[in-house]
Structure 1
Amino acid sequence: MTTVLLLTATGLGVAALYFLVASGLTLIFGLMDVLNFAHGAFVGLGGYVGWTVADRLPGSPGLVLGLLAGVAAGAATAAVTELAVIRPLYGRPLDQVLATVGLGLAIPALLQAVWGADARTWTLPGWLAGTVGLFGARIPSVRFLLIGLAMALLLGLRLLLGRTRAGLVVRAGVEDREMVTALGIDVRRANLAVFALGGAAAGLGGALFGLYQGSVSPGDGTSLLVYAFVVVVLGGAGSITGTALAAVAVGLVQQYADYASASLGDESVVILLAAVLLLRRRNLRGRPA
């Protein structure tokens, strides 16, 4: 029973990280039709900026400000990317892919040049470095922080897209851009907001990944991006709820497979992806292929 609880808590913690990164990715692709390979770079930048702030201000205040700084860094970088790189390339998907791939390679190299290639240790506050007892199992406190923030983001995004005027404008712009523009609504501002929101989620995911593993390194964003793409494919691009469910499935399957054999974790995720794609026969947007 203790082992099951530990594996489940770890799997949900990992799932929270995957969702934080994949939610931004699915928003940008599902609502803007932009396949953003630079998303992992936003994750890495958020992690390093968050670590830098938290390292300067130890304790809980530094942690909170570090997470906020990671969010701000991800949002700002994503906004600049949309304005300077993506906006001139709308309607040219191949050029968008090439541009974001290049940016996704350049930013990690810049992170390494500024902070070095070695991992930087993230020291947790005392209350977060301990464990919480749950039915006899001692679960690291940081797992609960990850899960709580991921659930808060899920709820916030669902409310934003489903209950607010801004969400209505974004969804309407996806369905009929010309009509929305004819109504006097600037779709470009909505696109910028979506890109910034996706970058903010990525920056938060990068900072929390540093907390989860206790350090940040230049390759963090790249490693998380791979799993984020898997989650988006499984959950359906543009579907926040589907992305959350897919993240939970991937996180739990990976952890239980790792427990069975240390080499099965990643393989199990690939098998899960292949099985779902073969059974449902749908494309990246979750529509019939």
Structure 2
Amino acid sequence: MGILLFLEQLLNGLQLGTMLFLMASGLTLVFGIMNFVNLAHGSLYMMGAYFAATLFQLTGSLLLASAGAFVGVLILGMALEAIILRGFYHRDHLDQVLATFGLILFFNELVRMIWGPQAYFLALPEMLNGSIELIPGAPYPVYRLLIILIGVAVGAFLYMLITHSRLGMLIRAGASNRGMIESLGVNIRILFTLVFGLGAALAGLAGTLAGPLLAVQVGMGDGVLITTLVVIVIGGIGSVRGAFLAALLVGLVDTFGRMLLPASLAEMSIYILMAAILWRRPQGLFPAHG
């Protein structure tokens, strides 16, 4: 493998990793902080892509479509939590799995009814459709580089939000002792609705960014959900820092595995990585609690 090819694949792995982090950060907030298993997270990723595709057809602007999709999935996630999922917080994880699996089927059928079975594609604007030579002799697509920058920016935002803000303090306290937070006058229901909405919006953002790279189609979030679960298990349940590092590791292993290993073994590479890490650290790389 030449040095230029290695560096190009390294960037591809980072791009995949940051995309996975956008999905994993939202899911780890909901799972780690609210102790809620949300299998419908991939459906929110799909809804973000469809919202963006629709708004792009109406406005012709990828920026407006992305912003509208982010807000749309934020509202959808908050409504979903308040109307349906709130009643499952005090039930066991099996009930949560069954309820959110039902939502996967619901959203897939809803998309078929509204948008039809055909796939949609988001076209990149001219300024994002070119390449830039970060490495001499190896041009890299501007849009993929933008995804890396957005992922890093979201990671920095979540770090500041959770560790250096009053809202983050309340979120961490609510995760540790809900009863104590409620006794201090904090409306835990509104707090958890905001957390769930933020997690949903991050999934929608990931779907929006994936739109120009992949076909926007029914069930597009089902496969990425499995990889996202691998990321949060490796990183440690509830740890945004762990999700970020694990997402980069998974992205790099998957990218180089598909290039260097036989196809059958490449498909298993991220699961081998997960098994190896859990063998040494069963709680994940950076567990949020203890």
Residue 116 of structure 1: how far off its partner (Å):
1.9
Alignment of 1:71-86 (within 5 A): 71-86=70-85
Is 2:9 aligned against 1:10? no
Residue 179 of structure 1: how far off its partner (Å):
1.1
Structure 1, unmatched stretches of 5+, are: none
Residue 128 of structure 1: how far off its partner (Å):
1.1
Cα distance 1:283–1:162, how it changes in 2: closer, same or farther (>3 A)?
closer
Residue 228 of structure 1: how far off its partner (Å):
0.6
Question: Distance between the aligned counterparts of 2:262 and 2:59, measured in 1?
Answer: 37
Q: Do the aligned partners of 1:82 and 1:195 also contact (CA within 8 Å) in 2?
A: yes
Question: Distance between the aligned counterparts of 1:110 and 1:266, measured in 2?
Answer: 31
Q: Do the aligned partners of 1:281 and 1:288 also contact (CA within 8 Å) in 2?
A: no
Residue 157 of structure 1: how far off its partner (Å):
0.7
Q: Do the aligned partners of 2:277 and 2:284 also contact (CA within 8 Å) in 1?
A: no
Q: Do the aligned partners of 1:142 and 1:211 also contact (CA within 8 Å) in 2?
A: no
* Equivalent in 46, 52, 71 of residue 48 of structure 2: 46
Question: Distance between the aligned counterparts of 2:46 and 2:218, measured in 1?
Answer: 6
Give every structure 1 segment of 4 or more consecutive aligned residues whose post-TM-superposition deviation is greater than 4 Å.
none
Aligned residue for 2:157? Answer: 156
Q: Deviations over 1:16-43 (max 9, x none)?
A: 1100001000000010000100101100
Aligned residue for 1:56? Answer: 58
Q: Do the aligned partners of 1:46 and 1:202 also contact (CA within 8 Å) in 2?
A: yes
Aligned residue for 1:234? Answer: 234
Q: In structure 1, the residue corresponding to 2:197 is in which secondary structure?
A: helix
Aligned residue for 1:204? Answer: 205
Q: State the aligned residue count.
A: 285
Cα distance 1:116–1:240, how it changes in 2: closer, same or farther (>3 A)?
same
Aligned residue for 1:123? Answer: 123
Is 2:88 aligned against 1:89? yes
Q: In structure 2, the residue corresponding to 1:139 is in which secondary structure?
A: strand
Q: In structure 2, the residue corresponding to 1:134 is in which secondary structure?
A: strand
The alignment-based identity, stated in percent, is 36
More deviation, 1-10/16-25: 1-10
- Which amino acid is the alignment partner of residue 176 of structure 1? N
Q: Do the aligned partners of 1:282 and 1:288 also contact (CA within 8 Å) in 2?
A: no
- Which amino acid is the alignment partner of residue 66 of structure 1? A
TM, length-normalised to structure 2? 0.93
Q: Give the RMSD, CA atoms, in angstroms.
A: 1.8
Cα distance 1:41–1:284, how it changes in 2: closer, same or farther (>3 A)?
farther
Residue 194 of structure 1: how far off its partner (Å):
0.4
Q: In structure 2, the residue corresponding to 1:120 is in which secondary structure?
A: coil
Aligned residue for 2:173? Answer: 172
Aligned residue for 2:186? Answer: 185
Q: In structure 1, the residue corresponding to 2:39 is in which secondary structure?
A: coil
TM, length-normalised to structure 1? 0.94
Residue 258 of structure 1: how far off its partner (Å):
0.7
Question: Distance between the aligned counterparts of 1:196 and 1:243, measured in 2?
Answer: 19
Residue 74 of structure 1: how far off its partner (Å):
1.8
Aligned residue for 1:260? Answer: 260
Structure 2, unmatched stretches of 5+, are: none
More deviation, 153-162/71-80: 71-80
Cα distance 1:7–1:285, how it changes in 2: closer, same or farther (>3 A)?
closer
